[in-house]
Homo-oligomer: A and B are copies of this chain.
Amino acid sequence: MKPYSEMSREELLALKAELDRQFEDAKGKGLKLDMSRGKPTPAQLDMGMGLMDALTSESDMKSENGLDTRNYGAMDGIPEAKHLMADVMGGVPAENVIVYGNASLSIMYDTVSRAMTHGVLGSTPWCKLEKVKFLCPAPGYDRHFAITQHFGIEMITIPMTPEGPDMDLVEKYVSEDETVKGIWCVPKYSNPQGYSYSDETVRRFAALKPAAKDFRIYWDNAYAVHDLYEDRRDEILEILSECEKAGNPDLVYEFASTSKISFSGAGIAAFASSKANIEEAKRSMTIQIIGHDKVNQLRHARYFKNLEGIRAHMRRHADIIRPKFEAVLAVLDKELGGLGIGEWTKPNGGYFISFDAMEGCAKAIVAKCREAGMVLTGAGATFPYGKDPKDSNIRIAPTYPTAEEMAEASDLFVLCVKLVSVEKLLEGQRH
């Protein structure tokens, strides 16, 4: 089929009639599909059930340094969990790691919250400043943007490229504007595009010369070991050591978790940073908590043992997830290829496919899908303030539905893309 933009009004009208009919059929099916969030599917969670046997009533509950994990203490985590998470984060030193509870999102929230009330290594608390800004590479992760919005931090959109954020723009803002205090990054298999930052991008991050001494890179390494393919695994440079080398040891806060490794509801999360930043975090933690759940830390360390154990587990996850990604991509290729009404990413890992519709179509496509029983992440969610300036980006989360649902979902999705695109083009011709 030829590109829609080259179709005559008559052709478009005929096409629309056909698509309308198909859409009515689809609606009639009474579908109930949810592709809104990056949730593991039950089969993935089942693969982790061995975790439940890793500790029993007969187990030795002491960590490798002899500490009783059941009792108070070890605020920053047990050594074996630190090692495990240090390796997940690409081999940062274990002494630069704090292991938390089950949510890296909470660590990020806390980190921003602490900066609001107490500043960063002696800087003025942000709540005392007139203006605080964050750079937000977009499309990006809606929950990152929600944290900064919650604290009244002004968000500046930075365009994403397949190499990472537009670094010319990042460097300009960071070096010239003292009110720019942070940037949200998902450096590997970015949410939602699945882009991984190039070595040059990471090095330019490490070499930033911030105008604000309390500027930090919020490096959410959420998909560090979430590869879909054995033979095309993205690798990113380890940012802590790059910052160290560049003479900027305190520049980065790194976050990770096992939420999409073990259980989304019951994993362990970690924070890695320089000695000074870790010490500052601990000073607040002393007030905030006596210690996170060390029994769950021990459970994870005993079950996965080491990075190789995690990688083996993730290969089994990939065997489930990969066919779903490939099914979506196959339908997109087959049904939308060459039509000029959408572009999409083909990531080597992570949890999402990013789809860019024709300008001004994303909201309408998501609404159409919902009308026929499929929930997608709200259009705009991948941009600061939920506003996609082009109303173009849609995040597709293929992991949770079954393979069968995924097929139905993909068919419905492309149908809605076509229908909305045709309507858009017809509308354009009217003017």
Contacts and interface: CB of A to CB of B under 8 A. Distances in A.
B50 A70 contact: no
Contacts of A288: 105-106, 109, 147
Interface in A97-112: 101-103, 105-106, 109
Chain A interface extent, by class: 35 or more
A52 B321 CA distance: 31
Nearest to A148: B287
A39 interface: yes
Given A59-B52, A284-B150, A295-B263, A289 B105 contact: yes
B264 A72 contact: yes
For this chain, the copies found in one complex come to 2
Contacts of A53: 56-57
Contact of A293 (B40, B42, B51, B265): B265
Contact of A57 (B50, B73, B106, B263): B50
Interface in A51-65: 51-53, 55-57, 59, 61
B296 A293 contact: yes
Contacts of A284: 150
A229 interface: no
A72 B37 CA distance: 9
B105 A102 contact: no
Nearest to A151: B117
Given A52-B57, A57-B53, A265-B293, A287 B109 contact: yes
A45 B113 CA distance: 34
Nearest to A41: B71
A51 B52 CA distance: 11
Contact of A70 (B101, B143, B265, B292): B265
A185 to B, nearest CB: 19
Contacts of A323: none
A146 interface: yes
Nearest to A128: B127
A83 interface: no
Given A102-B293, A127-B127, A295-B266, A48 B72 contact: no
A13 interface: no
A102 to B, nearest CB: 5
Interface string A264-291: 1110000000000000000010111111
Interface in A282-311: 284, 286-296
A264 B71 contact: yes
B50 A71 contact: no
Given A287-B150, A288-B105, A72 B127 contact: no
Closest 8 CB pairs of A and B: A266-B295, A49-B57, A70-B263, A127-B127, A45-B70, A150-B287, A109-B288, A72-B264
Given A39-B71, A45-B68, 8 more contacts: A45-B70, A45-B71, A52-B55, A56-B56, A105-B288, A116-B116, A125-B127, A265-B291
